[in-house]
Structures are given as C-alpha cells and as structure tokens.
C-alpha cells in the first residue's frame, strides 16, 4: 500500500538549543499552505496525492488481486471548507476489505489526527440504473479549516481478473501527484495502454524487487479538468491508463486472460453460450401470433423489434455478473422489463421462434468510450449490448432501449462505434454507421400574413429519424397545458412574444412515419415600421446562431446526431404594399455545413427557402476556426431584412 510519509513534514523539538536553526512545524505548515495558495490561487482545494497500488499474486493456483488506494488533499481557502465530504465505491465484484479516514490539523506546531466519525454506506443511485450493487462509502470530515487535510485509504479485492479498473490522472481539482503502481509475481504478465498523453508526460519505471516486477506510472502538477458543453466524454481528454492481465503460469501451464480480441470474445461467449436453450411456449405462441401476416424475415423482425419496444420497459441493472450476463428471454417476458442485454436476449429468442435467420447479439461501447477493439481488447471497450439482424450484406442494429427510434437506424449514442458480433460460434467486428443528416430531416413550412404590427402564421413541421424520436422522448406522455407548453417551446419562432394559438399532432404512435405538428400562431413586436416602410426578417429560426466555439476550448465538439433542415417561410405581400428590398441569396458549402438561402417572388408572394445540412458529427480542434467562420457567415445573412413599402 502506498502511503504518504507524513514524518518528513515533522521536526523533532527535543533539542531546544538548535531550535533556532529549524523552522517550527507550524511555520513549515504555514509556508506550505502559502506556497500552495500562491501556486493554485484560483482553487479552494488541492489534491496532494492520489495513489493506487495493485498487488497481483497467485494463491491456490488462482489470481489474487488486491488494490490499495490513498487520497490526500489540502483545504486552501474558507470556501474549500464547505467541501467536507469524500467518497469511494465498491461492489460484489470489487469487494471492500478495509478503510480508514481522518483529517490532519496543525495544533500548536504538531500535526493532529482526527479520525472520521461520520461514515455512511449507501447505494450509488446512478440516474441511469434502476438497480445496481455498487455501494458508495461517504465520509464526512468535520471542523475543517484552511490548511487542514483530508486523508482516506481503502483496500478492495477484485473477484474477476477480467474487470480491472482504469486509472485516471485527473480531477476537477488540481493534483500535485498522481501515481499508479502494480506489483506482480514474475509468472504473471500484464499489458497496458496509455491514452491522452501526447507529450509522454507520464513517467514510467519498471523495476525488480524480491523476485517481483514493479510497474509505476506518475504524473505531477495536473491541471483541473475543464467541463465543456458538447464534449464527447472525459475519457477523450483526461490522461489515463487501461491495464489488464495477459496471462499467468501455474504448474507450467499458461492461463490466458486478455490481450487480444480472441481472448475477449472467449470471455464474452461464456456469458451467452447457454442462453435461451429452453423453449418458452407462451413467448413462442405470442411471437408466432404477432408475425402471422408477415411475409419476409425483415417484416417479421421489425414486428418483433417494435413489440419489444412497446411492451418491455427498459430498466438498467448492474448487480455483479448480472451487469454482464443477459437474462433468459422467458424471465424478461414474464417481468415485462429488462436492461439492454435482456432486450437483446428476448429479441434474438423471438427471432429464433419465428425462424428468422441471421439474428444475433453483439457487444458495443457507446460514444462516451473512445476505444476500439484494436486499441484495447478488454471489457473496458464495451458498456452496452444489442441484437443485430443481418440483411443480405447489411446489418440492422436492434437497440430497444430507446423506445422511439424507428427500425433501420441505430440509437444515436452508438453511431460510428464498433460492435463485436456473436455469429456462428465466431466473432466479427462491424462498424455502426453514422446516420446521414437527410434521414434526420426537419421540414418546416410556415405561411405568414401581416396584421397591423403582428405576424400571423400557420405552419406544419415534420420531424424524421432522431429528430422525431428525441422530440417525442422530450415531450413524453404529457398532456393538456404541459404538452402545450412543451410544443410551444419546441416550435417557438422570432422572439419571446411568440404566441402559440393551437396545434394538432399526426403519426405520434407510428414510428415509421414523420412526427407532424400543425400549428397556428401570432408574433408581436417583431416587424419594424418606419414611416411608410415595414422591415421584416423572414429568418424566424436562426439555425446554429449560438453555436460559436470558444477560442480556448480544449475538447472536441460532439453533436448528438446530424440534421438536415428544410424550412420555408411564405409571406403574402399586402395589396397596398410593394417590395422595396429583397435580401440577396446565399450559399455555403464546406466540410461542415451546406447552406442555401433562396428568395423567390411570385404573384405578390415572397418565399424564403432555407436548406441547411450538417456534415460532420464530431468537430476536431483543427475544425473550430472554419466552423466559426461558417457560423459568422450564417449570422450575417440572418440579419438581412425584407423591406416593403406602402403604395402612395
């Protein structure tokens, strides 16, 4: 276990004759605090040490993995005192052996240690998980003051050698020192990969001591993580290490763990090799009933997919190996709820009952995880599981966790990711496509008339693909005033004087058709009258207007999905008015945005046709400058106005 040696901060006071030659502890502590505050003037707390050490050995011919953790921080300001809680987690697969927590205070030149008396164990209560076995030990440090330290240590034991954790060199606070140390017997081989350390700042050593290998990685003076909107995930940015056990030797026999995709697949396969072998008569009969009028395999699997979406409620579970092993389809059918693995299980089982070929299950990581299988062939690559239907040479990804997404497109959070398929006792890696913008089209046609100082309008908006599903998920099952306000917020145009008069919906429950809202509205204080002229900006929706990227941004900029906008604003020119000025047409086409703003005049009706398409799902740092220039050009054209003049 790696612990801070606090005695190096202490001075013996027994020799008073030489006391003047040394700083007292209080002076040293004050100097340390002063230096820390000078080095980190904008922060209320400093993490002095964040350390993990693993001891990996062999006992009774099996791997034994002990992890020791040490955390130490110092309060740098009065505001920092408020952060008097710390916590750590454990579970059935990472068992807690022991822990210790205390605060250190400067007491008249001596370092005083006060153990934490308030300690509470509770469920992790992950907002995305209905039930899990992850427990959190919450520690409360009382009577903190500027210059005092929070210290805690805990030891855990990993039950499954395939599920070692990553080590992260970062936090939302500055860190003075962060260290990972792994000690192994010589007949144990580990592998590791470092991410997000382009300058090789993490110092590494490998030494031998008493017949064991000691691997050590250290990073010092770590700046705090900066939260940025639309970031793809902290693992894309923070320096971290994923390490794993490759193999170990016992009695001259080599036991392979991880290190390549074959080993990972062998581990995964053990979870599903005996899945759904016993027939469930009720589920089979229901399957045959709902597909009885369907002719093709695709019609059948689509019907099954939608049935599961409509009848099995998605609830996430993480309870030991239940977080990895799909439940039997018969149990999911009986319960009427399940997690991602369970939904994959019941879809693939129903497909078997329907005699549909080429339906299998697949492991996949969501877009918050930056790894590929070639980067890192460990369970760290995956956090999701789905069913997959192979249609000719194409794959249809059947993720029922999103109730509204229509058949034929994957859920948005797995676009561009790799899936590891279980297919005919072999594995195959396939890439999930990024859904093109035209499949997520928004079409909004608005007819406008002038009524004194108001714009009167009627519109019809059609939402397809992700825009359909995500809009319906946001609105939910609300009704009456709540639904009215949700729809008003979604279609708001012009300014905050927008008044939605009435609306109606179409295809709300038909996933294969666009979700349509018909609406009428009026808009006050939008047009400008000046003498005999009226100024009207027909851009009632200024797409991407607020998507300028900050110059000091660090993270990539990630969109949830791509969208194509086809908006049309049709204005009836009053009979007693003539057109004085029509803005110029505009076109833009680069690697990120294609935009066309076209004005058309016909029989005293002026139309503005807006066609705007996103082209790139994730913007790299090198893209930011051109992106911002593109947004500036859009904004310049959004400010162009139509002028009509009263006839004399």
pLDDT, position 107: 81
Cα-Cα-Cα-Cα dihedral sign, residues 278, 283, 285, 290:
negative
- Express the helix, strand and coil content of the chain in percent, nearest 5 each: 20, 40, 35
pLDDT recorded at residue 363: 95
Read off the tokens for 612.
């705007």
pLDDT tens figures, 31-71: 689 899 999 999 999 999 999 999 999 999 999 999 999 99
The pLDDT of residue 31 is 66
Give the pLDDT of residue 30.
61
559: exposed, middle or buried (C-beta count within 10 Å: 0-12, 13-18, 19+)?
Answer: middle
304 φ, ψ (degrees, to nearest 5): -65, -45
Q: How far apart are the first and last CA of the chain?
A: 91
Q: Tell me what the mean pLDDT of segment 545-574 comes to.
A: 96
Write out the two tokens for 351.
């497909």
Biggest alpha carbon distance in the chain? 106
Euclidean distance between CA atoms 643 and 648, whole angstroms: 16
pLDDT, residue 8, reads: 31
Asked if the model's pLDDT at residue 23 lies above 60, the reply is no
Say if CB 361 and CB 346 are below 8 A apart.
no
pLDDT at 125 (0 to 100)? 58
* Domains of the chain, residue spans: 6-255, 264-431, 437-646
Q: What are phi and psi of 632, to 5 degrees?
A: -60, -40
Pairing of strands 442-451, 564-572: parallel
Question: Domain 6-255 belongs to what architecture?
Answer: Sandwich (2.60)
| 3-class secondary structure, 470 | helix
Q: Would you state the pLDDT for residue 320?
A: 55
Residues 122 and 522: their CA atoms lie apart, in Å, by 52
Please tell me the pTM assigned to this model. Answer: 0.90
Q: What is the pLDDT of residue 122?
A: 86
The total number of residues shown for the chain amounts to 648
Name the residue among 613, 612, 584 with its Cα closest to residue 598: 584
The CATH architecture annotation of domain 437-646 reads: Sandwich (2.60)
Q: 56, 184 in Cβ contact below 8 A?
A: yes
Q: What's residue 305's pLDDT?
A: 98
CA distance 127 to 573: 53
Alpha-carbon Rg for the chain in angstroms: 31
Q: Tens digits of per-residue pLDDT, 377-430? A: 999 999 999 999 999 999 999 999 998 999 999 999 999 999 999 887 789 999
Q: What is the pLDDT of residue 129?
A: 41
Buried b (16+ CB within 10 A) or exposed e, 477-509: eeeeeeeeeebeeebbbbeeebebeebeeeeee
Task: Please write the tens of the pLDDT for every residue from 153-176.
Answer: 999 999 999 999 899 999 999 999
If you classify domain 264-431 with CATH, what class do you get? Answer: alpha beta
Give me the phi and psi of 486, to 5 degrees please: -65, -45
What residues have CB less than 8 Å from 335, skipping those under 6 apart? Answer: none
pLDDT of res. 22 = 34
pLDDT at 322 over 60: no
How far, rounded to the nearest angstrom, does the alpha carbon of residue 397 sit from its chain's CA centroid?
Answer: 19
Spatial neighbors of 200 by CB under 8 A, at least 6 apart, are none
């Amino acid at each position: 276990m790696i612990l801070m040696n606090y005695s190096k901060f202490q001075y013996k006071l027994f020799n008073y004759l030489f006391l003047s030659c040394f700083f007292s502890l209080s002076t040293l502590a004050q100097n340390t605090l002063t230096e820390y505050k000078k080095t980190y003037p904008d922060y209320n707390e400093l993490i002095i040490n964040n350390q993990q050490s693993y001891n990996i050995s062999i006992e009774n011919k099996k791997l034994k993995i002990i992890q020791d953790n040490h955390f130490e921080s110092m309060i740098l300001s009065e505001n920092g005192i408020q952060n008097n809680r710390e916590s750590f987690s454990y579970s059935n697969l990472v068992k807690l052996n022991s822990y210790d927590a205390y605060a250190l205070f400067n007491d008249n030149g001596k370092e005083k240690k006060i153990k934490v008396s308030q300690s509470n164990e509770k469920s992790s209560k992950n907002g995305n998980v209905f039930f899990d076995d992850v427990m959190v030990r919450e520690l409360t440090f009382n009577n903190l003051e500027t210059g005092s330290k929070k210290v805690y240590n805990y030891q855990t034991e990993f039950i499954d050698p395939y599920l070692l954790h990553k080590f992260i060199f970062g936090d939302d606070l500055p860190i003075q020192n962060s260290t990972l140390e792994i000690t192994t017997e010589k007949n144990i081989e580990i592998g590791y990969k470092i991410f997000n350390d382009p300058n090789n700042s993490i110092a590494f050593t490998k030494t031998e001591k008493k017949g064991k290998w000691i691997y050590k990685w250290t990073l010092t003076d770590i700046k705090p993580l900066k939260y940025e909107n639309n970031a793809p995930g902290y693992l894309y940015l923070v320096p971290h290490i994923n390490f794993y056990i490759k193999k170990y030797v016992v009695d001259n026999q080599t036991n392979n763990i991880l290190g390549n995709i074959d080993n990972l697949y062998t581990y995964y396969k053990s979870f599903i090799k005996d899945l759904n072998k016993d027939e469930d008569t009720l589920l089979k009969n229901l399957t045959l009933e709902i597909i009885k009028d369907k002719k093709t395999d695709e019609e059948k699997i689509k019907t099954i997919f939608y049935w599961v979406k409509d009848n099995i409620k998605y609830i996430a579970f993480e309870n030991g190996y239940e977080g990895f092993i799909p439940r039997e389809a018969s149990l999911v059918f009986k319960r009427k709820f399940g997690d991602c693995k369970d939904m994959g299980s019941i879809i693939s089982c129903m497909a078997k009952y329907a005699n549909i070929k080429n339906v299998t299950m697949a492991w996949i990581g969501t877009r918050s995880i930056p790894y590929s299988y070639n980067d890192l062939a460990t369970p760290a690559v995956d956090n999701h599981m789905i069913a997959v239907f192979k249609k000719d040479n194409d794959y249809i990804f059947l993720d029922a966790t999103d109730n509204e997404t229509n058949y034929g497109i994957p859920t948005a959070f797995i676009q561009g990711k790799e899936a590891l398929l279980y297919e005919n006792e072999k594995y195959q890696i396939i890439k999930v496509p990024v859904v093109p913008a035209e499949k997520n089209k928004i079409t909004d046609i608005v007819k406008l008339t002038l009524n004194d100082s108001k714009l009167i309008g009627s519109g019809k908006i059609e939402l397809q693909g992700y825009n359909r599903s995500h809009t319906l998920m946001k609105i939910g099952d609300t009704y009456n005033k709540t639904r009215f306000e949700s729809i008003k917020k979604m279609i708001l145009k012009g300014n905050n004087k927008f008044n939605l008069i009435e609306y109606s919906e179409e295809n709300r429950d038909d996933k294969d058709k666009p979700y349509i809202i018909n609406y009428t509205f009026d808009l006050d204080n939008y047009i400008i009258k000046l003498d005999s002229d009226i100024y009207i900006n027909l851009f009632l929706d200024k797409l991407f207007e607020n998507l300028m990227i900050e110059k000091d941004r660090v993270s990539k900029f990630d969109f949830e999905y791509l969208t194509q906008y086809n908006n049309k604003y049709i204005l009836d020119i009053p009979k007693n008015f003539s057109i004085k000025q029509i803005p110029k047409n505009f076109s833009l086409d680069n690697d990120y945005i294609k935009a066309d703003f076209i004005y058309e005049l016909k029989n005293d009706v002026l139309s503005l046709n807006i066609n705007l398409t996103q082209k790139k799902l994730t913007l790299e740092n090198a893209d930011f400058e051109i992106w911002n220039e593109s947004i500036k050009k859009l904004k310049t054209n959004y400010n162009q106005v139509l002028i009509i003049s009263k006839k004399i």
